[in-house]
């Protein structure tokens, strides 16, 4: 009796294991055939795209190579299910797994192709890395959100309440994050329109002056000449009056204002000052070499004659070193030549009451 029971159990176990064993054999065989077919197909595609003059098709084949393996592996699972439907008929988890893998095998190459398009776009390439990163993030969130909703639907979970909740929730989020969204879209505008760029020397409303370090999604970082960092919200930046000294060219004019006494010989002053200006222009660090400085008298004052000397610097930040060297040199030359630099003064006469 016991022997018969053991035989029955063995036969029952074999009857249970044999279909699974057959399914595993079918899956491994299908996987082997399909992966080899995928490898052969992609080798032929790589040979084909190398013969073309288009540059992006090589990247396209390379971007879809790994995702295609997941797709062919999912096909192997589908073939296994087709040959053994009775084995997986009641196993809903296996069917859901096949659907989810099929969705992922489609979403993965879409994501890779989307990133390839963003990276290869000539318009976005000229817009800078920040805009490319921003669009890539938004696009990937959208792609994987749609994939997540499809996976939920294929798993038997209704997404209608989720979509309704997202609609109501998005309104509440938009109201709660007005400032954040304003900064975000102002940052997108700045990255697309490019009134300022990282590395530009700017002045904002005549108050904040420095070098743009980074244009982020919420704020812009500006390094002052003191090496302190000003973090300005993007919506404030978008509505401010910004002077960009590097938008067209990095070179900038340097204006030095001076005054000499009314008794001075203006022709001699012009000659001596331009000689000093030319020397500084060709020797000072950051000055544009071989630039021809100029001098223009501007007005009389009660103390002397006002005039401006015009030089040129390679960058805005170089003007301070140029002015420093110019003032040192011109002061020494004026003293040597006997040219006075007047300064305001008053004579005060004290009268006692008993002298009136």
Question: Cα–Cα–Cα angle for 220, 221, 222, nearest 5°?
Answer: 120
Q: Which two tokens mark 76? A: 């192997």
Least confident of 40-49, 174-183, 188-197, 229-238: 174-183
Give residue for tokens 């098709």: 57
Average pLDDT, the chain: 78
Let me know if 143 is exposed, middle or buried by CB neighbors in 10 A (0-12, 13-18, 19+): middle
Neighbours of 208 (CB within 10 A): 15
Q: Are 229 and 223 in contact (CB under 8 A)?
A: yes
* pLDDT value for 258: 92
**What is the arithmetic mean of pLDDT over 231-244?**
85
Give residue for tokens 């595609």: 45
Q: Are 221 and 212 in contact (CB under 8 A)?
A: yes
Q: Which domains does the chain have, with CATH numbers?
A: 2-175 (no CATH), 188-244 (2.30.30.60), 252-337 (3.30.70.100)
Query: Residue 196's pLDDT band (boundaries 50, 70, 90)?
Result: confident
- Residue 76 vs residue 183, higher pLDDT: 76
Say if strands 242-244 and 305-313 run parallel, antiparallel, or are unpaired.
unpaired
Give residue for tokens 């963003």: 118
Taking the C-alpha atoms of residue 94 and residue 74, their distance in angstroms, rounded to an integer, is: 12
Query: Residue 185's pLDDT band (boundaries 50, 70, 90)?
Result: confident
* pLDDT value for 334: 92
The string of pLDDT tens digits covering residues 293-348 is: 999 998 888 788 999 999 999 988 888 999 999 999 999 999 988 888 887 666 67
Which DSSP helix (H) or strand (E) runs through 297?
strand 294-300
pTM above 0.85, yes or no: no
Strands (E), the chain: 201-204, 208-215, 219-224, 229-233, 242-244, 252-260, 294-300, 305-313
The string of pLDDT tens digits covering residues 246-273 is: 887 788 889 999 999 888 889 999 999 9
Q: Which two tokens mark 200? A: 């530009």
Alpha-carbon 261 to chain mean position: 54
Q: Which two tokens mark 15? A: 């009857």
Beta bridge partners of 260: 305
Query: Which phi and psi (to 5°) does residue 33 adopt?
Result: -65, -45
- Cβ neighbours of residue 291 closer than 8 Å, sequence gap 6 or more: 281, 311, 312
Taking the C-alpha atoms of residue 333 and residue 277, their distance in angstroms, rounded to an integer, is: 11
- Cβ neighbours of residue 159 closer than 8 Å, sequence gap 6 or more: 149, 152, 153
- Residue 322 vs residue 183, higher pLDDT: 322
What is the chain's percent helix, strand, coil content, to nearest 5? 65, 15, 25
Is a pLDDT exceeding 50 seen at residue 8? Answer: no
| First CA to last CA distance, the chain | 149
* pLDDT value for 277: 93
Q: Are 67 and 106 in contact (CB under 8 A)?
A: no
Say if strands 305-313 and 252-260 run parallel, antiparallel, or are unpaired.
antiparallel
Give residue for tokens 């890779």: 112
The string of pLDDT tens digits covering residues 72-126 is: 888 887 787 777 655 555 556 777 777 778 888 888 888 888 887 777 765 555 5
């Amino acid at each position: 009796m016991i022997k018969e029971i053991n035989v029955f159990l063995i036969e029952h176990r074999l009857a249970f294991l044999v279909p699974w064993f057959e399914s595993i054999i079918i899956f491994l065989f299908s996987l082997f055939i399909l992966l080899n077919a995928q490898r052969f197909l992609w080798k032929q595609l790589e040979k084909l795209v190398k013969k073309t003059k288009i540059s992006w098709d090589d990247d396209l084949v390379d971007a879809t190579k790994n995702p295609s393996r997941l797709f062919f592996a999912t096909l192997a699972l589908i073939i296994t299910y087709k040959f053994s439907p009775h084995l997986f008929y009641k196993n809903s988890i296996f069917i859901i797994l096949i659907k989810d893998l099929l969705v992922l095998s489609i979403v993965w190459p879409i994501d890779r192709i989307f990133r390839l398009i963003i990276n290869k776009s000539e318009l976005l390439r000229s817009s800078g890395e920040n805009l490319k990163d921003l669009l890539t993030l938004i696009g990937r969130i959208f792609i994987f959100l749609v994939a997540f909703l499809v996976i939920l639907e294929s798993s038997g979970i209704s997404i209608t309440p989720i979509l309704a909740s997202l609609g109501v929730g998005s309104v509440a989020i938009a109201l709660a994050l007005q400032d954040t969204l304003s900064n975000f879209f102002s940052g997108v505008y700045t990255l697309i329109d490019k009134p300022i760029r990282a590395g530009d020397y700017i002045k904002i409303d005549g108050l904040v002056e420095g070098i743009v370090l980074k244009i982020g999604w919420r704020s812009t970082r500006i390094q002052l000449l003191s090496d302190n960092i000003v973090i300005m919200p993007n919506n404030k930046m978008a509505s401010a009056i910004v002077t960009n000294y590097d938008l067209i060219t990095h070179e900038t004019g340097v204006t030095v204002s001076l005054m000499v006494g009314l008794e001075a010989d203006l022709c001699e002053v012009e000659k001596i000052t331009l000689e000093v200006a030319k020397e500084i222009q060709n020797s000072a660090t950051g000055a544009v070499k071989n630039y021809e400085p100029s001098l223009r008298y501007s007005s009389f004052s009660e103390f002397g004659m006002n005039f401006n000397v015009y030089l040129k610097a390679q960058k805005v930040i170089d003007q301070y070193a140029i002015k420093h060297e110019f003032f040192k040199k011109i002061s020494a030359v004026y003293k040597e030549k006997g040219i006075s630099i007047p300064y305001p003064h008053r004579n005060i006469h004290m009268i006692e009451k008993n002298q009136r």
